[in-house]
Structure formats: structure tokens, C-alpha cells
Amino acid sequence: MPYRLSFALGLILSLLLTLLSYGANSLFPILGGAGWAIVIGLVFSPVLSRFKSISPSVKWIEKNILQAAIALMGTQLLWVQVLESKYYFAFLAIVGVILIYLGLKILPKFGISKELSWLLAGGEAVCGSAAIGAASGLTKAKSSEIALAILLVNGLSTIALFTTPILLNSLTLESEWNAWFTGGYIQSAGHAIAASFGVDETTGILGTAFKMGRIFLLIPLMLATRLIFKVDGADNKARSIQLPWFLYAFLLGFLSFNFIPAFYDLRDYTKYVGDFLLNWALVAIGLHISLKGMMTQGKSAVVAASLLTLFHLALLLFVFLLA
């Protein structure tokens, strides 16, 4: 089969599967868009193994479309949200550093790779699938490790979606504390927002702001990922760091959509496009999943991710007790 035709077929197949993941999520939203994209890709991964000629286009999507999706996330972050949540945001940044440090130093002791440990920690500390996607592009993580990290983080986030409102309503805290908790604890943005409004409307509005402000941690996460995995690589040149293009694009989008009025009305469109590109890339990742590779680290990864999210919960509750 000619290369251009096989490349086009790979694009078409992955696009159709992305639309299928949207349909599945609309019927059964418990997994979230990212989770369904991975699962749909996984279900159809035998097609890729049977028709290897479409593999190059799927790999291209996995790398380039994912980077474009991360770049567009900068357009969704509002400067006013960062200002309103500056004190809470500063503490969440400290919590994020602690979680990522534990991910780097402790999680590999459970028998999982350094790359998977880093992805789990980044997803827990920052913003779920988006953080995993951003960090994975700067490491040598396997598709099976990326998929496993996304599924675990989204699964734990789903549990938090249902349990967090019950917990907060039983504690009878002020809305600002409730919002800080939902925005700072729950990994998935959709789950965090839903849980926030599940408490009350004020918590919902503030929780959304705190969660979106947390996305700003993508920048230090990508910088740290580049530094750590660049230093470990064979191509290290005097510990130099070459920042990826999508980090610059993320910053440009943030600045443009906050300070140039002409871009204000385009935010809804860039969100839709960004979400679609992210799901498209995750479908491609799912198509490249090795079930054998997932099973190798699966049980250990479940234990490691669960303990990390429980530590995250305990840390936030400890701050509540002090306050």
C-alpha cells in the first residue's frame, strides 16, 4: 500500500475512533473523555497490529497532535483566576512538589518504571490526563505506561468525584475551603468542577477557578521533566535544557487570551479544539498499547497510585485541621 494512502487511512481510522469515544462518553460519562479515548484505542489496537502500514500515522498523531493539544491549554487559563487563588495556589504548588518528589523517589520502589512513576505523580499533582500527556512527550515512556497512568488517574479521580462532596458536606466548611479542596485534590478538571458544584454553587465557581489555576503548574512540571530526563539521557550536553515548542505556545496562548481583547471571544473555540485534539492523541496512544506491558506493571501501579492519592488526601485534611 502506498505510504500516503496508508498514512491517510491511519488518520481516518483514529478520527472515527475519536468520534466513537465522544459517543461512549455521552452515554456513560463515568470514565471521562480521556478515559474513553484510551479504552476505545485499546479495544481497536489489534487492528493496528494487523495492519502495520498505518502505524506511522498513528505515531505521528500520538506525538504531534498531543503537543498541539497541550499548547492550546494555555488559552483556557485566566489571569484573574491565578490572582484570586494566589495564596491557595502557592500552597498547592508546594503540595505538588511534595507529590512529584515522592513519585520520583518512592513509587519506583513498588516495581514500576521511573517514567510511569513520574507520570502518575504528575497526573496526581497537577491536572490528570493533561499533565500526563505533557510530561510523556518529554520522556521515553512507553504507550502502555502512558495509557496505564491515564486510566489509573482518571479512575481515582472518578472515585473522588463521588466521595469528595459527601466528605465536604459532612465537614461543613466555608465555601472557599471547599473549593480549595475540590480544585486542589481532584485530578480531572471535569471531575473537579462537577464535584465543586456538587457541594454548592459558590464552591462550584471558586473550585473551577482554583482548578484552572492549577493548570499553570504544567509549566514547572514540563521544565522539571525536561531537566530530569534530559540529564539522564545520553544526549546531555552540559546539562543544557532545550524547551519544547509547545511550552512556548502554551505561554503565548495564556498571554494572548488574557491581554489581547480580540482573542477573548475565541476561548470557547480553542477549548473545543484542544479537547478534541487531546482525545484524538489519546486514541492513538491507546492503539499502540501493549496489554502485556500494562499487565507487567499493572498491579504494582494500582497500589502505588492509590497510596499516592491517599497521601494527597491526608495532606490536605491535615491542613484543614491546622486551619
pLDDT in tens, the chain (323 residues): 677 888 898 899 999 999 999 999 898 877 677 778 878 988 888 877 788 788 888 889 877 887 788 788 778 777 766 666 566 667 777 888 888 888 888 898 888 888 899 999 988 888 787 788 878 877 888 888 888 888 888 888 878 877 888 888 887 777 778 888 888 888 877 678 778 877 887 787 677 767 766 777 777 887 888 888 764 544 444 344 455 677 688 889 889 998 999 998 899 999 899 889 988 988 887 787 666 655 666 788 888 889 999 998 888 888 777 76
For 151, the domain range is 3-322
Angle at 88 between CA 86 and CA 93, to 5 degrees: 90
Instruction: Give the span between the Cα atoms of 138 and 243, in whole angstroms.
Output: 10
| pLDDT at residue 143, rounded to an integer | 82
| pLDDT at residue 86, rounded to an integer | 63
The end-to-end CA distance of the chain, in Å, is: 66
Count: domains in the chain: 1
When computed from its CA atoms, the radius of gyration of the chain, rounded to whole angstroms, is: 19
Those residues with Cβ within 8 angstroms of residue 124's Cβ, 6 or more apart along the chain or in another chain = 99, 103, 153, 156, 187, 305, 308, 309, 312
| pLDDT at residue 238, rounded to an integer | 37
Helix (H, G, I), strand (E, B) or coil at 235: coil
Quickly list DSSP for 137-201.
TTS---HHHHHHHHHHHHHHHHHHHHHHHHHHHHHT--HHHHHHHHHHH-SSHHHHHHHHHHH-H
Angle at 127 between CA 268 and CA 72, to 5 degrees: 35
Give the CB-side neighbour count of residue 101, counting CA atoms within 13 A.
6
Look at phi and psi of residue 32 and say left if phi exceeds 0, alpha if psi is from -120 to 50, else beta.
left
Q: What is the dihedral of CA 321, 184, 306, 217, to 10 degrees?
A: -130
| pLDDT at residue 276, rounded to an integer | 92
| pLDDT at residue 241, rounded to an integer | 45
Summarised one tens digit per residue, pLDDT across range 222-254 is: 788 888 876 454 444 434 445 567 768 888 988
| pLDDT at residue 292, rounded to an integer | 61
Summarised one tens digit per residue, pLDDT across range 45-102 is: 887 778 878 888 888 987 788 778 878 877 877 776 666 656 666 777 788 888 888 8
